[in-house]
Amino acid sequence: MTDFVLKSDIAEIAESLSDCAHGFAGKTVMLTGGRGFLGRYFMDVFARLNETVLKKPCELIVLDNLITAGKEGAVIPDAPHVEFIKHDVAKPLKMKRKIDYVIHAAGIASPFYYRAYPLETLEVAVAGTRHMLELAEKNQARFVFFSSSEIYGDPDPKHVPTPESYRGNVSCQGPRACYDESKRLGETLCYVFHEMNGVKTNTIRPFNVFGPGMQETDYRAMPNFASRIKAGKPLSIYGTGDQTRTFCYITDAMAGFLRVVLLGVPGEAYNIGNPKPEVSMLDLISRMEKVLGRKVDYNVIEYPDSYPADEPQRRCPDIRKAMLQIKYKPTVDLDEGMRRFFSWTDKAYAGET
Ligand X SMILES: NC(=O)c1ccc[n+]([C@@H]2O[C@H](COP(=O)([O-])OP(=O)(O)OC[C@H]3O[C@@H](n4cnc5c(N)ncnc54)[C@H](O)[C@@H]3O)[C@@H](O)[C@H]2O)c1
* 51/271 Cα distance (integer angstroms): 30
Catalytic, 303? Answer no
Chain centre distance of CA 248:
10
* 281/240 Cα distance (integer angstroms): 9
Neighbouring-strand partners of residue 316:
none
Residue closer to ligand X by CB (options 47, 124) is 124
235 near ligand X, rule: CB under 6 A: no
Number of residues in contact with ligand X, rule: CB under 6 A?
A: 32
108 near ligand X, rule: CB under 6 A: yes
Q: Of the listed 179, 219, 270, 307, which one is catalytic?
A: 179
Lay out the site mask for ligand X across 198-227 (x = CB under 6 A, - = otherwise). Answer: --------x-xx------------------
Shortest Å distance, C-beta 293 to ligand X: 27
* 15/10 Cα distance (integer angstroms): 9
Shortest Å distance, C-beta 25 to ligand X: 25
Shortest Å distance, C-beta 295 to ligand X: 28
317 near ligand X, rule: CB under 6 A: no
128 near ligand X, rule: CB under 6 A: yes
* 100/340 Cα distance (integer angstroms): 34
- One-letter-per-residue 3-state SS of 44-59: HHHHHHHHHCCCCCCE
Segments of the chain assigned E as strands:
28-32, 59-64, 82-86, 101-104, 142-146, 201-206, 209-210, 235-238, 244-245, 248-249, 269-272, 279-280, 298-301
Tell which one of 50, 68, 202, 244 touches ligand X (CB under 6 A).
Answer: 68
315 near ligand X, rule: CB under 6 A: no
* 203/196 Cα distance (integer angstroms): 17
Positions marked catalytic: 179
Residue ranges in contact with ligand X by CB under 6 A: 32-33, 35-39, 63-69, 73, 88-90, 105-110, 124, 128, 146, 148-149, 206, 208-209
